[in-house]
Structure 1
């Protein structure tokens, strides 16, 4: 029998009366990638936070290399050779890569910080494991994929032999995801053992040896990945049959809701990010924007929603020029916005779930009267929407930071969709969501379209763009490179347009 480097036996974790983990069993073999699969809020991160020393079990025991241990702090976890790469990076943006990696584990030379030596060690580590980073670069200046490599190096620098990846691809582009899969395989070749927390079945099939499925806090089954189909894994995860395709009737476009003409928008350094871009979205259709990250998508959406100044050009909503209006006034023109970064722009993490759900309507009846908030109504409203949109958490009164990433996303979508907007703008709608939640969110977006609403979706997931959209606008270098019909294109053609190329079909140049 293969040696188990980790054994978690009958692990239970309670928060008051709420049981997050219920007698879960999990073991990790030396030199394997073991996937931990479950829906949003199933208890995956809670379970792994006990290995990382961030939480302690209510009952049960943990053994490392056959020895029962107590992990009561992150430092104890690190001493036992465990390192965790969290879903939301824990990096100081103003520090360099080297400074972040050695933080709390500094290399000293006669009591003086030896950054040069640390930088050399990090360079060797990065070359050994194929983790390309520039040790002296500031974290604020490097890509999201590079920041994740820094997080991995941070665990390796501390001598970790067991690595836990918590939803590692939630913020990565497709090319960065492919690169991460390769890195994980290299780590295992070098003798590391990995637990991969995910709900993405294609990632499990690409890298994992075995998978343990947990559902609503209980372990369901552990199976070999090679012997299980995606359909079987999905059904184990959600407890029912799941559709992998988005079914919808052909769209029936109505009047133009959003009209953008010759739009120019600068990025933070004053360089144009959106360059004379024109686009229309009509009621009764979903327009998907496909593009490589950093080609003006964020600035475009911020301009439409009043979060960024427009340099030139016009934006009209239902025939009204909104180019210079505030975000609040645009919102009140029946515009809803699900932002791409749920932590930075979508939620106030310290506030309750109910308060976050009320953020767009708290100043209106029935949630307030004469400027005075009615918390009974706010909490009731939050409770209602949590039930309707299947937002799983202990209650509407917990802080938003207490929800899993996927349930945070569902809370934002609940807040925006429930306002019955004429224009719904959604950036990365299913980032961090499991297959059951993705199915549900796609269905809700199509329902909004079928009510005659205009829906604009920005996503890096080409499958999502192809499944959801009635028209696809491909953006490259701040301009629309082409507009195509989803049924007449494929990922390869979209990739060509996303890279700035062109395609020709039956004499038609796109």
Structure 2
């Protein structure tokens, strides 16, 4: 059989750490081929080898049966290979078209011929069902639209084989549906797709075959039609994975977090949170369900001190914390797992060990009279790395070198270790594999069972249903209903999230 891509016995090392250990991947023409593995298994590394960003120590790559030497991405492009990266490579201040043609500009009389390029972009976007305004500025369009621009960039360069690196990690449920439709259209048009993912639901829905990688080694390739999510999860993590979260009944006590009449504006000055009321008690997990963009980000930022609120009250155990500094709020007993781990969770260039004390570095035993005690810092880091199974070569490795799942485990270890009264967990499992998700859910429930309060914000409905003791539905910046997960369905939650069956004004929702 002729494959469009063959990666045979690929080995890639980084300073003695083996990221890809003798992996083979063979992709057929016209298929969607999933590359499945835990965070840090070596999926992105393997695809960066195929795209020419890394050079392998050994192994062979063939494109359409012919051996090739891909020493940089330009050669990959010339061979018809395009890559849509997880973190988009776009210039915010440029237009859609300017980003798409960057590096391939055509000129007319010495000037970039932007009008012809816009027309070409419009034609490609219509052909593949990628509705994007060619003149829009990147900073003004949604994440889902930015991803479409990345896809158009590869198609504009004539890609026949498209690599998607965790394409749904940053998308809303609606955008995921739209992306799946786009993938199907690309296949109909004769493209071949490699999909790096750890979302089993998406593999079952859209992929033809799946190659599983575990800890840098190839485990095998299976037909999706002949497997199931449980089998794939076991292949991926090397053990059986429990998909439902096992937890006892909650036994809540008094209010820990109490929010009354909170009003917050977004960065454009538009009211994003409107008179919001909510309480979270000791010994319970309250999940906030809502479609992205209904005030969740502004709510979290106001509670944690990252954004000034207009009015209202936020109390931790009766103490007002509204509009205090993030440090003062943290010291009042709040811990925060931020939704953007790169922007608000880590200093990416710092060693992971120093990231483990970002909230406490100025206190004893980590510093005295302003002088840091690095021995104590790294002793603490080693303990947390072991306890939270953070997979890193060592505690001195820069945070940016860790996989997303291991970065997230480090943040959770740091925040939970401080023994907070209230833990704010915003998208705590976004972009993580089933093994890491299971680990994090257990940690959230452990906090609850220790009598702590947990506020969980997630766009994953099954996560909200599985982990929460109560679910607060947010719509247009207000809590419109509070429901018991045992007495509701995903369909009913979906309707509430879309604004139907809204509570009447003045009706008590803060139960």
Q: TM-score range by the shorter chain?
A: over 0.9
Question: 1:112 is matched with which residue?
Answer: 111
Encode CA deviations 1:47-93: one digit per residue, 9 max, x unaligned: 00001111110111111111111111111111111111111111111
| Alignment check: 8 A CA contact 2:31 2:192 kept | yes
Give the equivalent residue in structure 2 for 1:346: 345
Counterpart residue number, 1:310 = 309
Q: Which runs of 4+ in 1 moved over 4 A?
A: none
* In structure 2, C-alpha distance between the alignment counterparts of 1:204 and 1:169, rounded to whole Å: 12
Secondary structure (helix, strand or coil) at the match of 2:409 reads helix
2:134 alignment partner, SS class = coil
Alignment of 1:137-176 (within 5 A): 137-176=136-175
* Contact 1:493 1:503 (8 Å CA) reproduced: no
* Distance in 1 of aligned mates of 2:508 and 2:456: 25
Rounded to whole Å, the distance in 2 between the matches of 1:152 and 1:18 is 32
Residue matched to 2:56 = 57
> Match for residue 409 of structure 1?
408
Separation of aligned partners in 2, 1:299 and 1:456? 15
Partner of 2:272: 273
Aligned to 1:295: 294
What do the CA deviations read for 1:352-391 (whole angstroms, capped 9, x no partner)?
Answer: 1111121111111222222111222222222222221122
Q: Distance in 2 between matches of 1:97 and 1:382?
A: 43
CA displacement 1:219-243 (0-9 Å, x = unmatched) = 0010001001111110000000100
Map of 1:8-87 to 2, 5 A cutoff? 8-87=7-86
Cα deviation for residue 409 of structure 1 reads 1.5
For residues 429-468 of structure 1, the C-alpha deviation after alignment (integer angstroms, 9 at most, x for no partner) is 1001110110110000000000000000000000000001
Q: Equivalent residue of 1:214, what SS? A: strand
Q: CA deviation at 1:417?
A: 1.3
C-alpha deviation, 1:509, in angstroms: 10
CA contact (8 A) 1:287 1:455 kept: yes
Give the structure 1 partner of residue 359 of structure 2.
Answer: 360
For the 8 Å contact 1:41–1:393, the answer to whether it is kept is no
**Alpha-carbon distance, 1:104 to partner:** 1.4
C-alpha distance in structure 2 between counterparts of 1:351 and 1:318, whole Å: 34
**Distance in 2 between the 1:381 and 1:456 partners?**
27
Alpha-carbon distance in structure 2 between the residues aligned to 1:16 and 1:499: 50
Task: Please state whether the residue corresponding to 1:4 is helix, strand or coil.
Answer: coil
Any idea what SS the aligned residue of 1:253 has? Answer: coil
Query: 1:442 — aligned with what?
Result: 441
Note the C-alpha offset of 1:277. 0.4
Aligned residues: 506
Contact 2:302 2:323 in 1 (8 A): no
Query: Deviations 1:286-326 (Å, cap 9, x if unpaired)?
Result: 00000011100000000000111110111111100111311
Distance 1:492 1:5 in 2: 42
SS of alignment partner, residue 309 of structure 2: coil
Shift of 1:503: 6.8
2:255–2:317 CA contact under 8 A, matched in 1: yes
**TM-score (norm: length of structure 1):** 0.97
| CA spacing shift, 1:509–1:330, aligned 2, 3 Å | closer
Please list, as runs of the form range in 1=range in 2, the aligned pairs for 1:371-382 lying within 5 A after superposition: 371-382=370-381
Instruction: Report the TM-score, using the length of structure 2 for normalisation.
Output: 0.97
- Aligned 1:345-494 pairs, distance under 5 A: 345-494=344-493
The answer to whether the 8 A contact 1:122-1:135 is kept is yes
In the alignment, structure 2 segments of 5+ residues that lack a partner are none
Work out the CA distance in 2 between the residues paired with 1:246 and 1:503: 29
Deviation for aligned residue 1:46: 0.5
Q: d(CA) in 2 for partners of 1:83 and 1:407?
A: 27
In 2 relative to 1, CA 138–20 (structure 1 residues): closer, same or farther, beyond 3 Å?
same
Secondary structure class of the residue paired with 2:419: coil
- Two-structure CA RMSD over aligned residues (Å): 1.3
- 1:286, 1:456 within 8 Å by CA — same for their partners in 2? yes
Q: 2:39, 2:347 → 1: CA distance?
A: 20
CA distance in 2, matches of 1:140, 1:437: 32
- Provide the C-alpha distance between the structure 1 equivalents of 2:381 and 2:127, rounded to a whole number of angstroms: 50
**Which range is displaced more, 347-356 or 279-288?**
347-356
8 Å Cα contact 2:480-2:502 kept in structure 1: no
| Cα distance in 2 for residues equivalent to 1:11 and 1:380 | 36
Residue 95 (structure 1) aligns with: 94
Q: Distance in 1 between matches of 2:110 and 2:217?
A: 49
How far does the alpha carbon of each residue in 1:237-287 deviate from its partner, in whole angstroms, 9 at most, with x for none? 000010000111110111111000001111112111000000000110000
3-state secondary structure, aligned to 2:86: coil
Aligned equivalent of 2:324: 325
SS at match of 2:4: strand
Q: Matched residues in 2 for 1:283 and 1:374: separation?
A: 35
C-alpha separation in 1, matches of 2:13 and 2:316: 49
Whole-angstrom distance in 2 between the partners of 1:389 and 1:103: 42
Following superposition, the deviation at residue 25 of structure 1 comes to 0.4
Confirm or deny: 8 A CA contact 1:38 1:213 kept in the other structure.
yes
Query: C-alpha separation between the residues in 2 aligned to 1:252 and 1:345?
Result: 32
Query: Structure 1 residue 502: deviation in Å?
Result: 0.7
